[in-house]
Amino acid sequence: MNQFLKALMGWIATITLLALIAACSSTERPHNTSESTSAENSSSQPSEETALKPLPLSLPKTIHDIDIPISIKDKNLDLEFKVNGIREHQGKGVIKPNQGQKWIVVSTTITNKGQSSQTISVVSFGLIDSKNNQYEVALLAGALDDVQSPTGQLSPGDEQQGEVAFEVPEGTKELKLLFKPNSINCEASSSQQKSSETLNCEPIVVKLD
């Protein structure tokens, strides 16, 4: 009987020890998981920096004014382009510019006077400031219901009026709109020097302020 009790007590001690080891192991796991999750969260947080990059091309000598129709003729297109005006957009609800930034919305009219359809893309537009910093179209602002995009397919004889939005730092001065009607073809042929030489890849520049 004494031997049976000793054996039973030995088994109980062994089971208790194993339970303690398992508890310690399970306690450590959430700590490691927490550290991993924290690292993942910090790396996945979106950056609040604006879409700003150095100007990759030289500006033409001619700078146009707002509300003046601009004739754009090349062997593959015949367009009339005009900037109608600009406004500042405060955003709606939770959709707002980042802190320290503002949305500038530029109204444009594009008319296809040629004989073939033309595709107007968001990459056709850009914005530069007094320091020649370039800003891409702010897609979030452009998705608002009161901002109608001028992009899409433009058939011969059609006119498309719409707005493009940009996010710029508060206090940004001397803004100019870049319109690059050949942007898609120019980007596609950028690696083929002979082909790109036949295209007019110089942007139309309109002074906004």
Q: How many percent of the chain have pLDDT more than 70? A: 67
Give per-residue pLDDT as tens, 109-147. 999 999 999 999 999 999 999 988 999 999 999 999 999
111 and 169 part of one domain: yes
User: Does pLDDT of 43 surpass 60?
Assistant: no
Mean pLDDT value across residues 138-165: 94
93 and 22 part of one domain: no
- CA distances from residue 167 to 3, 129, 197 in whole angstroms, order as listed: 83, 12, 32
Mean pLDDT value across residues 105-111: 98
Residue-level pLDDT at 193: 56
79 and 112 part of one domain: yes
* pLDDT averaged over every residue in the chain: 78
Number of domains in the chain: 2
60 and 26 part of one domain: no
71 and 39 part of one domain: no
119 and 34 part of one domain: no
Least confident of 20-24, 64-68, 201-205: 20-24
Q: Which two tokens stand for residue 158?
A: 């059609």
pLDDT category at 90 given cuts 50, 70, 90 is very high
Residue-level pLDDT at 70: 97
Q: Which two tokens stand for residue 154?
A: 């433009």
Mean pLDDT value across residues 35-60: 48
SS3 for 131? Answer: coil
58 and 12 part of one domain: no
* Residue of higher predicted confidence among 116 and 192: 116
82 and 116 part of one domain: yes
56 and 152 part of one domain: yes
- Domain with 39, as residue range(s), is 1-45
66 and 125 part of one domain: yes
For position 195, which CATH number holds? 2.60.40.1240
SS3 for 110? Answer: strand
- CA distances from residue 202 to 30, 64, 135, 178, 186 in whole angstroms, order as listed: 58, 14, 17, 10, 10
Query: The pTM is what?
Result: 0.70
Q: Supply the DSSP string of 25-54, one letter for each residue.
A: HHHHHHHHHHHHHHHHHHHHSPP---SEEE
116 and 34 part of one domain: no
182 and 154 part of one domain: yes
Q: Supply the DSSP string of 151-196, one letter for each residue.
A: -EEE-TT-EEEEEEEEEEETT--S-EEEE-TTHHHHHHTTT-HHHH
Residue that the structure tokens 């109204």 belong to: 107
Q: Which of 105, 108, 131, 107 is nearest to 52 (CA)?
A: 131
